A = this chain, B = another copy of it.
């Protein structure tokens, strides 16, 4: 990563992107899609001379027009349904037509999973910088579960595009209708579509977006890799990276064991299911329920982590995150929890994306409190 301090931009190389992918997968809390396909697309785009320019949102002028982007649909589908590669740019151009002005920067709507990388690919293709921030600091299954909605920004106009060239423009008067329409349309269009939403001026994004989350993800991914390369414990390196991150203050291992049962189905456009993990010595059992993302972890029936805190299932040797659609019976894993960004833990935020929003037993208690972490 090379810094250009005058403009406060950084250009990322392919090794940085590989580290970023690893960090995004972790922050995805099991969701946001496996970053692998998007990583390969970026690899090809960089080989073609493309440039990734990361920029601190604070360094953009207030009237810069910023477009959050990502993919909507069930991750189980995105594994098999490849993009055409034209979806994102088509959506961006349509937004520009509607807004009557050019977009100045793109950003991930959610940093988790492949959606943390999708904005980079669009940035390369559009020749635009990527703002180092996002709307969740993780991934969530529904579009309205985003800090922009919590802070009163409008999702509309939202632009949905698919691999065949179809485009749906959602001009909704409320953000829940936007999610429900986008979800229904994504199901009709094959279960995985590109979505640009909550486009706004940098002024609003500076006030509301979760800042530095791309840097945080990059740092997480790099720390894990460097630890492995030097024979150190990658989990210790992960926790150190989280400790010094901008958005994540508590983290730890929730469980160590083997996946002994797995239920997973695609329902109403979501990947829904449950993983059961038994300790190697026997006796102890962790159950993780997910809807695209892991939402709740119960140790022997007792809640140990709850949405919006991050619950990720990692390979216990390499500390590579296994996203929900890649979970398999028999995988040996460590389940890692991390506190959600503070902005997601306010009463206003929890009403939109906390346990109640998923009809899970609440009220929300922080992962630090549930596990006695200092």
Q: Which residues of chain A have a CB within 8 Å of any CB of chain B? A: 94, 164-174, 177, 180-181, 184-185, 187-189
Contacting residues, chain B, for A169 (C-beta < 8 A): 168-169, 171
28 contacts between A and B (CB under 8 A): A94-B171, A164-B173, A164-B174, A164-B177, A165-B173, A166-B171, A166-B172, A166-B173, A166-B177, A166-B181, A167-B171, A167-B172, A168-B168, A168-B169, A168-B170, A168-B171, A168-B181, A169-B169, A169-B171, A177-B188, A180-B188, A181-B188, A181-B189, A184-B184, A184-B185, A184-B187, A184-B188, A185-B185
For the complex, give the distance between the alpha carbons of A185 and B181 in Å: 6
Q: In chain B, what residue has the closest Cβ to A172? A: B166
Q: In chain B, what residue has the closest Cβ to A183? A: B188
* Nearest CB of B to A107, in Å: 24
* Nearest CB of B to A84, in Å: 12
Q: In chain B, what residue has the closest Cβ to A184? A: B184
For the complex, give the distance between the alpha carbons of A185 and B170 in Å: 10
Contact A177 B189 (CB under 8 A): yes
For the complex, give the distance between the alpha carbons of A180 and B180 in Å: 15
* Nearest CB of B to A182, in Å: 10
Contacting residues, chain B, for A164 (C-beta < 8 A): 173-174, 177
* Nearest CB of B to A170, in Å: 6
For the complex, give the distance between the alpha carbons of A180 and B185 in Å: 9
For the complex, give the distance between the alpha carbons of A168 and B181 in Å: 9
Given A166-B181, A185-B185, 13 other A-B residues pairs in contact with their CB atoms under 8 A = A94-B171, A165-B173, A166-B171, A166-B173, A166-B177, A168-B168, A168-B169, A168-B170, A169-B169, A169-B171, A181-B188, A181-B189, A184-B187
